[in-house]
Structure 1
Amino acid sequence: MQQSHTQNCLDSPPTDAISAVKFSPSNNDLLVSSWDKNVILYDVNKNQIRREFHNSSPVLDCNFLNSDKGIGGTLGGEINEYIFENQETIQIGKHQSAVRCTRSIDQENVFATGSWDKTVCIWDLRAKNFLTEKVDQPNKVYAMDSKGNYLVVGHAKRTINIYDIRNFQKPIQERESPLKHQTRYIACMPNGEGYAISSIEGRIGIEYFDPSPDIQEKQFAFKCHRKVVQDTTYVFPVNTIAFHSYWGTFASGGCDKTVYVWDISSRKRISQFPNFPTSISSIDINYTGSIMAIAASYTYEKGEIDHPPDAIYIKFLSEQDIRPRDLNQNKKI
């Protein structure tokens, strides 16, 4: 792939809706899950497929455990491990309903899954039976992320549970979403102080774990992914969020076909990438913070209609794209 261009498309994209794009923690490999029942491992540098893993049903989420293996959760409830070296798929467990979220937990062999069966499970590939914790949730799991010892779980009906994974049986905090409509995505801040949450009504909320009043006063929510056409405001779901590991800024993608980059400190928008052919279903930023993967894939927000083919764009980030505008804020937040 020629990096003289600021943006390219990956060859041989999935043939059905893309559910997740996730970069490796240590290189520019990209794991992609989709509704065509496949999980594909791409070498972004070479713009080619390294490995392809077939599943028994559509895959709703995927993640790396390390540079050698990944995980995926399916509509049928299966939790699969993918061994990159020999292209092997191993089913390690099963939920009673669709697995909506998979997240590694800062340990090479430990990860969490959240399901529509109203449970969150912790899996350890070193354990005899893999499943080490199973905790009931108040509603279906719609979004989830982890950082350090925190695991944040967002449900249907806008409830949020925050766990300390060292004592997982009971949440340390139970909250209501700051947004008025259904939760779509949760992403933890790279410094571990809080998380961003998005919803279907074009809003993002910034929340902090520390319950002290002076910290909670910093929380805020804002409108985004909206368009005004002839005095009519159109509001779009915010499907995905990705933080930059160094600058602490974050990008969001929505059904308005647009990716924006935001700065928490100044509460301002940093940049906007030109419109893509269709909805943005997933985004992620690589381990060096220099590349963003963008899945342009119709999310059926308007039902069954003709739509552009699914595509994965690779955007090479400049500091202007992602760095806070105020030079005094050019630091990790």
Structure 2
Amino acid sequence: MSFFGSSGGGLSLGSLNNTNPLNTSNNPSPTTNSELANDTTLNDPPTDGISDIDFSSTADVLAVASWDSSVRLYEVVNGQSQGRAMYNHQAPVLSARWSPDGSKVASGGCDNAVRVYDVASNSSSTTATQIGAHDAPVRAVRWAEMGPPGSGNIMLASASWDRTIKYWDLRSPQAVATVALPERAYSMDVSKSLLVVATAERHVVIINLNNPQTIFRTSVSPLKMQTRVVACFPQGDGFALTSIEGRCSIQYVDPEVNKQNTFSFKCHRRPAGNTSGSALNTTIVSANSRAETLVYSVNSVCFHPVYGTMCTAGADGTFHFWDKDNKHRLKGFNDVGGPITATAFNASGNVFAYAISYDWSKGYQFAAPTNVNTVRFHPVTEDEVKQRPKIKR
């Protein structure tokens, strides 16, 4: 990829004092609860918190990873869902992802294990093959094509709290390679030849998968507080970072492009007193001692597979569709009744899935049996997610 230039000199990810805020006022119409009225609910959901969801690229089958130590697969047809398979880890599952050909699901979790479930051969089985392990919980798994695009050399990458990334070839019982990270992995994503890991202490690690055993560049997040999510752009030329302070940052790999186009914006915030009581984690901040704002963690980012527009979802129980290129919000939705922990579009982009669950931000004391744990399916309209011509002012 041409944007992987020289790695010398480091990459500055920009300053919050020098950002172009996204226009959040450019909503086509006010949001009402009726716009979520046709959203359907997952049948037979997990019994504990939902940590990750992912649609297959070849069929409308959703993988759901849960703190109840399970990975469940659901077929989704016209918003109606039916369980098709389930397998278990020995501890909470933190990440699950479909292989590019839709034949396998990989997962990692707090049992330190990396597991792969072969859908075709294990359709009636509740076990998955353990292909590897870390020395601490596995925070994220992603399938990645190593080497030049089109090589077909698909491997599985896993990022862990043991401060490593490991690459797995399913034909080998040992990791093909291990890459040391500066801190514990909090989030990882892959697109084309770009792999990005966000770690503790706000480090951001970029790897060019044409040379996957070497870190291309390490930087520090421009967001002032703990990183929550990293999500790569579909084009593989950049990524979005979010934090627990209700902010999102748009970053590019090429330093010159990044210098011109990087920006950060506030989201998933609301005035103090304007709460429904459904969001569980809030921080009250004061602006010049005149107004108080409730600040929520941005728990999930995903991109529309057709238009490339972006969705953020947070602990405030809301999700929003954004046009990052033209810097405005396309559509925002009201509180769905609890924190949103994970989101995913299906392959055609006409179904948006969002998981409502406790996000563990306040510790085990708030993991009450009465908490909602479910996934809902929102029928996506073109008007909600398609980019609009930039308005000249």
Q: Work out whether the TM-score is over 0.5.
A: yes
> Given the superposition, is the C-alpha separation of residues 326 and 308 from structure 1 closer, same or farther in structure 2, using an over 3 Å criterion?
farther
TM superposition shift of 1:171: 1.3
For residue 20 of structure 1, the aligned residue among 15, 31, 52 is 52
The answer to whether 1:82 aligns with 2:117 is yes
The answer to whether 1:135 aligns with 2:179 is yes
Give the equivalent residue in structure 1 for 2:91: 57
Which whole-Å CA distance do the structure 1 matches of 2:310 and 2:153 have between them? 25
Which whole-Å CA distance do the structure 1 matches of 2:390 and 2:307 have between them? 11
TM superposition shift of 1:325: 3.2
C-alpha distance after superposition, 1:294-315 (max 9, x if no partner): 0000113234234532110011
TM superposition shift of 1:146: 0.8
Say which SS state the counterpart of residue 44 (structure 1) adopts. strand
For residue 118 of structure 1, the aligned residue among 160, 163, 166 is 163
Say which SS state the counterpart of residue 383 (structure 2) adopts. helix
**Alignment RMSD (CA, Å):** 1.8
Give the equivalent residue in structure 1 for 2:102: 67
User: Do the aligned partners of 1:109 and 1:125 also contact (CA within 8 Å) in 2?
Assistant: no
Comparing 263-272 with 304-313, greater Cα deviation is found at: 304-313
Give the equivalent residue in structure 2 for 1:92: 131
Which whole-Å CA distance do the structure 2 matches of 1:245 and 1:47 have between them? 21
TM superposition shift of 1:33: 0.3
TM superposition shift of 1:188: 0.6
User: Do the aligned partners of 1:11 and 1:47 also contact (CA within 8 Å) in 2?
Assistant: yes
User: Do the aligned partners of 2:326 and 2:390 also contact (CA within 8 Å) in 1?
Assistant: no
Give the equivalent residue in structure 2 for 1:7: 39
Which whole-Å CA distance do the structure 2 matches of 1:207 and 1:83 have between them? 35
Q: Which amino acid aligns with 2:315?
A: C
Instruction: Flag structure 2 segments of 5+ consecutive residues without an equivalent.
Output: 1-36, 146-151, 274-290
For residue 104 of structure 1, the aligned residue among 140, 143, 147 is 143
Q: Which amino acid aligns with 1:50?
A: R
Say which SS state the counterpart of residue 97 (structure 1) adopts. coil
TM superposition shift of 1:235: 0.4
Which whole-Å CA distance do the structure 2 matches of 1:302 and 1:155 have between them? 20
Structure having the larger proportion of residues in strand: 1
For residue 276 of structure 1, the aligned residue among 333, 336, 339 is 336
For residue 319 of structure 2, the aligned residue among 259, 271, 294 is 259
Say which SS state the counterpart of residue 128 (structure 2) adopts. strand
> Given the superposition, is the C-alpha separation of residues 124 and 59 from structure 1 closer, same or farther in structure 2, using an over 3 Å criterion?
same
> Given the superposition, is the C-alpha separation of residues 246 and 80 from structure 1 closer, same or farther in structure 2, using an over 3 Å criterion?
same
Comparing 214-223 with 16-25, greater Cα deviation is found at: 214-223
TM-score (norm 1): 0.93
Which whole-Å CA distance do the structure 2 matches of 1:122 and 1:145 have between them? 14
> Given the superposition, is the C-alpha separation of residues 61 and 239 from structure 1 closer, same or farther in structure 2, using an over 3 Å criterion?
same
Matches within 5 A, 1:294-333: 294-303=354-363, 304-305=365-366, 306=368, 307-326=370-389
User: Do the aligned partners of 1:37 and 1:57 also contact (CA within 8 Å) in 2?
Assistant: yes
Comparing 165-174 with 32-41, greater Cα deviation is found at: 165-174
C-alpha distance after superposition, 1:166-196 (max 9, x if no partner): 2123211111111111111111111111111
Comparing 76-85 with 297-306, greater Cα deviation is found at: 297-306
TM superposition shift of 1:84: 1.6
Give the equivalent residue in structure 2 for 1:35: 67
Comparing 319-328 with 190-199, greater Cα deviation is found at: 319-328
| Higher normalized contact order (CA 8 Å, seq sep 6+, divided by chain length) | 2
Which whole-Å CA distance do the structure 2 matches of 1:326 and 1:168 have between them? 38
User: Do the aligned partners of 2:194 and 2:237 also contact (CA within 8 Å) in 1?
Assistant: no
Matches within 5 A, 1:154-193: 154-193=198-237
C-alpha distance after superposition, 1:281-324 (max 9, x if no partner): 00011111111110000113234234532110011100121112
Instruction: Flag structure 1 segments of 5+ consecutive residues without an equivalent.
Output: 329-333
Comparing 131-140 with 106-115, greater Cα deviation is found at: 106-115
TM superposition shift of 1:149: 1.1
Say which SS state the counterpart of residue 165 (structure 2) adopts. strand
User: Do the aligned partners of 2:89 and 2:111 also contact (CA within 8 Å) in 1?
Assistant: no
Q: Which amino acid aligns with 1:17?
A: G
Matches within 5 A, 1:230-245: 230=273, 231-245=291-305
User: Do the aligned partners of 2:141 and 2:157 also contact (CA within 8 Å) in 1?
Assistant: yes
Q: Which amino acid aligns with 2:383?
A: Q
Which whole-Å CA distance do the structure 2 matches of 1:302 and 1:191 have between them? 36
Which whole-Å CA distance do the structure 1 matches of 2:346 and 2:175 have between them? 29
Which whole-Å CA distance do the structure 1 matches of 2:108 and 2:362 have between them? 25
Which whole-Å CA distance do the structure 1 matches of 2:210 and 2:339 have between them? 38
Q: Which amino acid aligns with 2:272?
A: V
For residue 248 of structure 2, the aligned residue among 204, 229, 233 is 204
